Structure 1
Amino acid sequence: MTTTERRPAPDRRAGELGAVELARWLWRQLTSMRTALILLLLLALAAVPGSLIPQSGVDALEVSRWKQAHPNLAPIYERLGLFSVYDSAWFSAIYLLLMVSLVGCIIPRCFVYARALRAQPPPVPRNLSRLPEHATFATDDDVDVVLERAREVLRRKRYRLRKAEDGSGVSAEKGYLREFGNLVFHVSVIVVLVGFALGSLLGYQGGVIVLAGDPERDLSGGTFANTAASYDDLDPGSLFGADDFDPFTFTVDDFKVTWLTKGSARGTARDFRAQLSYREGVDGPEKSYDLRVNHPLTIGDTDVFLIGHGYAPVITVRDAEGEITYQGPTVFLPQDQSFLSFGVVKAPAKSGSVGLDGLLYPSFVLADGNPTTYFPALTNPLISMLVWTGDLGLDSGVPQSVYVLDTEKATPVENADGKPLRLDLQLGETAQLPDGLGSVSFDDVQPWVRVQISQTPGKRIALGGVVLALLGLLGSLFIRPRRVWIRARRRDDEDGDGTMVEIGILDRSGGADLGDVLDEIVTAVGGRSEKEMSP
């Protein structure tokens, strides 16, 4: 006789879950449809800061300006990753959890749906009069004739049929594509997420300001070559390499803006467009393109979008000997809808660097003694700038923004009254600087355009997912899953001989008015005066 040694049960309180049970419970919670919907809502909410707060990958300059305007909030936002929402750990966590939840939710439902497709409609219930929509009528036709007619009618209406084992009834069902539409919709969400993920990993997005030419004033535009070093700000995907840039160059030959001059919308741009000359590769033929808003230029797999514009005053700075220390168009950044713009000039010189920072007024006027610009077009351009001299940090070796003037170690140049010197120059004017610092000339104004250049490999996949989502949603909304049961039996009572027919209909989605459907089936099967409907 052998005995089995029984090990004592581990100490576990009633209802306490072990590691395996806990993992199984967590998996069921994660892959439930409710969790998937909550995660989808969280993902939508998490994307809101990306549209409200400037993003470093889209406009690094706007991010720096936002930080300067909100010095107290900037460190908090930076720690939370709000300046790069879509690259943050918390956004990626929601994204991945949603993917896992959807996959874990959809795969079991696919197996359930496959079994449902192979299953037959349920047998005829015992009491059809309990259904919300039912009818009873008598006919002189035989039972076999009535049931064959019923099968023919239902088959024509694309019902799946099941014959009762005793031959006394017919079961029919249709609307299986409704669940298929639901599955297509949820699969399409995964497809869209995969498309966005591919675009984020394998693509990039960058922005650059390019000077625009103006043939009427013999100004030449700037040339852009599609390399990483040419971008003002660049946000490449994790798997995007330097060799993945499409080789091309383009020049902005001309830029024109049409302003509204009347009504409440006066000063609003009705249309603006940039005339480009571009070349694919090194030896490709030169082509032209009229770049407009929402009409990007596509070169290979890369799209070029027009997203902004502004003015670049042409300023010349000379030293005491008359030698040019700085000359050229300087990009000024618009501050409001009137295109009042801010910019800086940094002119190195042996006798002391000269720095300028101030405003460009496209249409300068004095209103109650205060300078302002009344229209964004260049009708009366004027620059008003403070002058600095000394150490501007140009020789420190530390990279500086071209839009910021470091005046920490510099001193303001003063006029004869001991006040900071402000140069107010209209187009074509020159001002002499005191203390032998030279002169400043305002020679011209050249337009510039800001373009966004991006490569999004997964955009067609995402578009296909959106189309699938629409098709699946339409299917789940307009396809009505219904079941129809018909029973026929011989009647032999005091009312006479014949066949008693019972018909019942059930709408599985609920809320449908099946009265007309029932009337149509009753009439097609052969119903007459004894039809009665439930209220």
Structure 2
Amino acid sequence: MTIVEERPATAEVPPPRRPNPLWTLLRNSWRQLTSMRTALVLLFLLAVAAIPGSYFPQYAVNRERVSQYYTAHPQLAPWVERLGGFDVFASPWFAAIYLLLFTSLIGCVLPRLRDHVRALRTVPPDAPKRMDRLPQHAPATARPEDPAAAAESLARMLRRKMFRTRVVELPDGGFSVAAEKGYLKETGNLLFHFALLAVLIGVGFGHWYGWHGNRLLVAGADQGFCNSITQYDDSALGPRVTAADLPKFCLRMTDFEATYQSTGQAKSFLATVEVKEGSGAYRKASFTVNDPLRLHHANVHLIGQGYAPVLRYTDRYGVSQEKVVAFLPVDGMQTSEGVAQFPDVNIDPATNKRDDQLQVGFEGVYLPTGGTDGSATSKFPAENNPVLYLAAYRGNLGLDVGKTGSVYALDRGQINSGALKKVSGERPYVLRPGETLTLDDGTKLEFVGTRQFATLSIRYDPTQSLLLVGAVLGLIGLMLSLFGHRRRVWFRVLPANGQETGGSVIEAGGLPRTDYPGFAAEFAALTRPAAEDGHAEEGTP
């Protein structure tokens, strides 16, 4: 008979599973993105990315300044435009940093919030067996009380000092008193980050549902405007806002007062207006630079001021036109530049036709306080000696071709091509209020006077309150995070000589959970009563 030896079958060990490389990449990328270090880097990048928004003029603030930048830097401006430098806060790269920071903060804060809630619900741990190894240690001290009374006295003292305290009876008849304090540090840290999230949410929703517009408003009942996109010099609506969503109100400026120091530095500005909201009646209101006019779903801010000369032109047929033209300040003394254009003049009454080659434009400088030296620079921003220097041009102003241009300067292309010719000679005309000049063709221009104008910024941000609350809570959270220190203190209370009655022996230890230079002094104050008196009195610090 043949005996066949049976060998035990060996189980085949499956090869280790290789992790999915795509899943590993996504997991590691998420961990890196949601780390606190990455959040700090993104916050720093967001601050750096906002610098071009304060250095370059922005379309959302003042389109005219962007046009001036193109004129002053014709080579650099197109590159700034391509990189989004004139609309920084709506550029794709700024939005990418913003969204990454938002995602990083959420992924960083939510796990920490979960861990903090778990820590708040967890009782302080028992005292370690070898408290002499702790950073702070108080040797055993005899007390006349029994262990239960001594432990309760220590617990009351710690609770008065705002420690979370836990008393546990030990198997050998002793007691462990565990106390912990300083949870507000992590609470403040989380509060700061949630406040930062609130600010980011407020900025995002404010961009979506907010709007703003700028308007140069000249004093006078005939110069008022109503809240409409077409009546703004420049405006921007949020992606979720349409022109029909704008609140209905009308505004006209009745007076503007400006005071200056002897050096010419501005002291105060006060705009007095009449405002009508909805179908209501006009009411008077005043506002200053730091105190805007608050309307329903709109705030009117005063951001600038200047002078608007009033000019009356009488053409060769005796027909007069009067215009109020704002001259923009170019320095702190209100030296102002501007242009007055009269395209619809010199119309032949017999044929009722206009000759485009007889249009008239005046370009010049207005000085509120002209000097005796004849220089085209104002000596003081108030109107002490108003002077208007003008250069006259006749020809085609180029306003009928539909090409956009500045309303504060004549079309240089028309001048260079010869379509618009200078008729005032080499020296400009000099006019003071009430004076009239006569051109070579017999037409006249009278400098009637001036009016003041105010540059207004009308804005609405539905999340303004959220931003304020977020900023306040962020400051509170930062203070709590900086001044809070988490630490633990333990007391082990044992019967004297191993007996449950007849006194007790107390040993103490302390552990700072964070860097806290003052913990040694605090620990000494907590353990001093047992070391000095042998008993803990009520109210002993």
TM-score (norm 1): 0.88
- Kept in 2: contact 1:383–1:424 (CA 8 A): yes
Determine helix, strand or coil for the equivalent of 1:338: coil
Measure the CA separation in 2 of the matches of 1:307 and 1:119.
Answer: 55
Measure the CA separation in 1 of the matches of 2:485 and 2:190.
Answer: 16
Q: Name the structure 2 match of 1:322.
A: 318
Moved more, 166-175 or 196-205: 166-175
Q: For each residue in 1:305-344, what CA deviation from the matched residue of structure 2 results, as whole angstroms up to 9, or x when unmatched? A: 11111011111222222222x4211110000011110101
Measure the CA separation in 1 of the matches of 2:477 and 2:234.
Answer: 39
After superposition, residues 292-307 of structure 1 pair within 5 angstroms as 292-307=288-303
Determine helix, strand or coil for the equivalent of 1:172: strand
Select 1:359's aligned residue among 348, 361, 365.
Answer: 365
- Kept in 2: contact 1:138–1:528 (CA 8 A): no
Measure the CA separation in 2 of the matches of 1:79 and 1:363.
Answer: 42
Moved more, 403-412 or 338-347: 403-412
1:171 is displaced (CA, Å) by 1.5
- Kept in 1: contact 2:143–2:534 (CA 8 A): no
Select 1:509's aligned residue among 501, 510, 514.
Answer: 514
Q: Which amino acid aligns with 2:368?
A: P
Q: Name the structure 2 match of 1:385.
A: 390
Q: Name the structure 2 match of 1:191.
A: 198
Measure the CA separation in 1 of the matches of 2:298 and 2:519.
Answer: 54
Q: Which amino acid aligns with 1:339?
A: Q
Q: Name the structure 2 match of 1:66.
A: 69
Q: Name the structure 1 match of 2:266.
A: 269
Q: Is 2:273 the counterpart of 1:280?
A: no
Select 2:286's aligned residue among 280, 284, 290.
Answer: 290
Q: For each residue in 1:76-130, what CA deviation from the matched residue of structure 2 results, as whole angstroms up to 9, or x when unmatched? A: 1111111111111111111111110000111111111122122221221222223
Backbone CA RMSD of aligned residues: 2.7
Q: For each residue in 1:370-420, what CA deviation from the matched residue of structure 2 results, as whole angstroms up to 9, or x when unmatched? A: 3432111112212112222222212213343312311423343346xxx54
- Kept in 2: contact 1:221–1:254 (CA 8 A): no
- Kept in 1: contact 2:308–2:326 (CA 8 A): yes
- Kept in 2: contact 1:174–1:483 (CA 8 A): yes
Q: Name the structure 1 match of 2:422.
A: 413
Q: Which amino acid aligns with 1:309?
A: Q
Moved more, 273-282 or 138-147: 138-147
Q: Is 2:438 the counterpart of 1:432?
A: yes
Measure the CA separation in 2 of the matches of 1:172 and 1:395.
Answer: 84
Determine helix, strand or coil for the equivalent of 2:49: helix
With over 3 angstroms needed to count, the CA separation of the structure-2 counterparts of 1:343 and 1:485, relative to structure 1, is: same
Measure the CA separation in 1 of the matches of 2:169 and 2:388.
Answer: 92
Measure the CA separation in 2 of the matches of 1:149 and 1:406.
Answer: 90
Q: For each residue in 1:258-289, what CA deviation from the matched residue of structure 2 results, as whole angstroms up to 9, or x when unmatched? A: 1212xxxx11121111111111112x132111
Q: Which amino acid aligns with 2:464?
A: K
- Kept in 1: contact 2:143–2:530 (CA 8 A): no
Moved more, 239-248 or 171-180: 171-180
Measure the CA separation in 2 of the matches of 1:524 and 1:221.
Answer: 83
Q: Name the structure 2 match of 1:178.
A: 185
Moved more, 179-188 or 168-177: 168-177
Give unmatched runs, 5+ long, in structure 2. 1-8, 346-353, 536-541
Q: For each residue in 1:458-511, what CA deviation from the matched residue of structure 2 results, as whole angstroms up to 9, or x when unmatched? A: 111111111211221222223322211111234549xxx953321112222223
After superposition, residues 143-158 of structure 1 pair within 5 angstroms as 143-158=147-162
Select 2:409's aligned residue among 398, 404, 412.
Answer: 404
- Kept in 2: contact 1:146–1:525 (CA 8 A): no
Select 2:526's aligned residue among 512, 521, 524.
Answer: 521
Q: Which amino acid aligns with 1:508?
A: R
Q: Which amino acid aligns with 2:151?
A: L
Select 2:306's aligned residue among 304, 310, 318.
Answer: 310
Select 1:461's aligned residue among 462, 466, 470.
Answer: 466
Determine helix, strand or coil for the equivalent of 2:476: helix
Q: Is 2:258 the counterpart of 1:257?
A: yes
- Kept in 1: contact 2:397–2:420 (CA 8 A): no
Q: Which amino acid aligns with 1:96?
A: L
After superposition, residues 344-355 of structure 1 pair within 5 angstroms as 344-348=339-343, 349=345, 350-351=354-355, 352-355=358-361
Measure the CA separation in 2 of the matches of 1:291 and 1:131.
Answer: 64
With over 3 angstroms needed to count, the CA separation of the structure-2 counterparts of 1:317 and 1:447, relative to structure 1, is: same
1:302 is displaced (CA, Å) by 0.6
1:5 is displaced (CA, Å) by 12
1:8 is displaced (CA, Å) by 9.6
Moved more, 160-169 or 204-213: 160-169
Measure the CA separation in 1 of the matches of 2:181 and 2:26.
Answer: 39
Moved over 4 A (4+): 2-10, 523-527
1:52 is displaced (CA, Å) by 2.4
Determine helix, strand or coil for the equivalent of 2:101: helix
After superposition, residues 2-13 of structure 1 pair within 5 angstroms as none
Q: For each residue in 1:136-172, what CA deviation from the matched residue of structure 2 results, as whole angstroms up to 9, or x when unmatched? A: 2222333333222222222333322332643442211
Q: For each residue in 1:10-32, what CA deviation from the matched residue of structure 2 results, as whole angstroms up to 9, or x when unmatched? A: 9x9xxx97111001111011100
Q: Name the structure 2 match of 1:30.
A: 33
- Kept in 2: contact 1:221–1:253 (CA 8 A): no
Q: For each residue in 1:173-216, what CA deviation from the matched residue of structure 2 results, as whole angstroms up to 9, or x when unmatched? A: 12222211111110110001111111111011110001113xxx
With over 3 angstroms needed to count, the CA separation of the structure-2 counterparts of 1:63 and 1:143, relative to structure 1, is: same
Measure the CA separation in 2 of the matches of 1:17 and 1:144.
Answer: 59
Q: Which amino acid aligns with 2:227?
A: N
Measure the CA separation in 1 of the matches of 2:446 and 2:476.
Answer: 63
- Kept in 2: contact 1:153–1:525 (CA 8 A): no
Measure the CA separation in 2 of the matches of 1:358 and 1:6.
Answer: 94
Measure the CA separation in 1 of the matches of 2:282 and 2:26.
Answer: 62
- Kept in 1: contact 2:273–2:284 (CA 8 A): yes
- Kept in 2: contact 1:318–1:440 (CA 8 A): yes
Aligned residues: 506
Q: For each residue in 1:279-302, what CA deviation from the matched residue of structure 2 results, as whole angstroms up to 9, or x when unmatched? A: 1112x1321111111111111111
- Kept in 2: contact 1:124–1:171 (CA 8 A): yes
1:527 is displaced (CA, Å) by 4.8
Measure the CA separation in 2 of the matches of 1:345 and 1:152.
Answer: 84
Measure the CA separation in 1 of the matches of 2:233 and 2:405.
Answer: 13
Q: Is 2:515 the counterpart of 1:481?
A: no
Q: Is 2:88 the counterpart of 1:85?
A: yes
Measure the CA separation in 1 of the matches of 2:475 and 2:95.
Answer: 26
With over 3 angstroms needed to count, the CA separation of the structure-2 counterparts of 1:8 and 1:128, relative to structure 1, is: closer
Q: Name the structure 2 match of 1:216.
A: none
TM-score (norm 2): 0.87
Q: Is 2:451 the counterpart of 1:446?
A: yes
Q: Name the structure 1 match of 2:218.
A: 211
- Kept in 1: contact 2:223–2:252 (CA 8 A): yes
Identical residues among aligned pairs (%):
39
Q: Name the structure 2 match of 1:46.
A: 49
Measure the CA separation in 2 of the matches of 1:4 and 1:498.
Answer: 66
- Kept in 1: contact 2:323–2:340 (CA 8 A): no
With over 3 angstroms needed to count, the CA separation of the structure-2 counterparts of 1:9 and 1:529, relative to structure 1, is: closer
1:38 is displaced (CA, Å) by 0.9
Q: Which amino acid aligns with 1:148?
A: E
Q: Name the structure 2 match of 1:217.
A: none
